[in-house]
Chain A
Amino acid sequence: QQQVRQSPQSLTVWEGETAILNCSYEDSTFNYFPWYQQFPGEGPALLISISSVSDKKEDGRFTIFFNKREKKLSLHITDSQPGDSATYFCAAHASSSFSKLVFGQGTSLSVVP
């Protein structure tokens, strides 16, 4: 069964530090990896995404690093702010699944002032 795993389950960093959220997968047909950010009481919102042909994607303070050989990726949040406190989901799309996403279980990030 297709699986996406995230670690750690929860993470606390100080304001200004870099938070690193990890994601791994098993299915080699996965070709697109979006990260979603979810605040309490809200739905997930697309934050940043990367395709399997790239090894890095940057958007402001958010950067995805992708290692296709090891089937791992990570989301780096530099200069973390209290407003970044949220749950982050890694997801994956398989080329065979036509527009379906498989989600990891999420990482809850707390940024302490």
Chain B
Amino acid sequence: EAAVTQSPRNKVAVTGGKVTLSCNQTNNHNNMYWYRQDTGHGLRLIHYSYGAGSTEKGDIPDGYKASRPSQENFSLILELATPSQTSVYFCASGAGLGGYEQYFGPGTRLTVL
């Protein structure tokens, strides 16, 4: 069974619209992460969380918000989507506390028209 799941898997949004990407993990990991993947850039960290109720800015947080309402769930929110946010988004979980491995979900392909 997949331990990190994402929904939706594909999303088409309009410029200026609100988009919410959801992530659920059953690893009971403290840490969760949101990345975007673009050709030539690898994986870039947008937001991350150390546990329920916490969110931290990553390397490219502008235009994105995050929410961690529970240990299992972590959402990425685009309040006003722009075409430059067209990308593939990955959620990951990690144990933290010195455990550096991260486990990734299958990704969400977002297209902003």
Are B104 and A45 interface neighbours, CB within 8 A? yes
- Encoded as 1 (CB less than 8 Å from any B CB) or 0, chain A from 92 to 103 comes to 010000111101
Count of chain B residues with a beta carbon within 8 Å of a chain A beta carbon: 24
User: In the complex, how many residue pairs between chain A and chain B have their CB atoms under 8 Å apart?
Assistant: 51
Residue of A nearest to B41 (CB): A105
* Neighbouring A residues of B96 by C-beta, 8 Å: 98-99
Chain B binding surface SS class: strand
When the two chains form their complex, are residues A34 and B45 in contact, meaning their CB atoms are under 8 A apart? no
B42 touches A43 (CB 8 A): no
Seen from chain B, the residues whose Cβ lies within 8 Å of a Cβ on chain A are 4, 31, 35, 40-45, 48, 58, 90, 92, 94, 96, 99-107
Residue pairs across A and B with Cβ atoms less than 8 A apart, 15 shown, are A6-B42, A34-B102, A42-B107, A43-B90, A43-B92, A43-B107, A44-B90, A89-B42, A89-B43, A100-B45, A100-B58, A101-B100, A103-B43, A105-B40, A105-B42
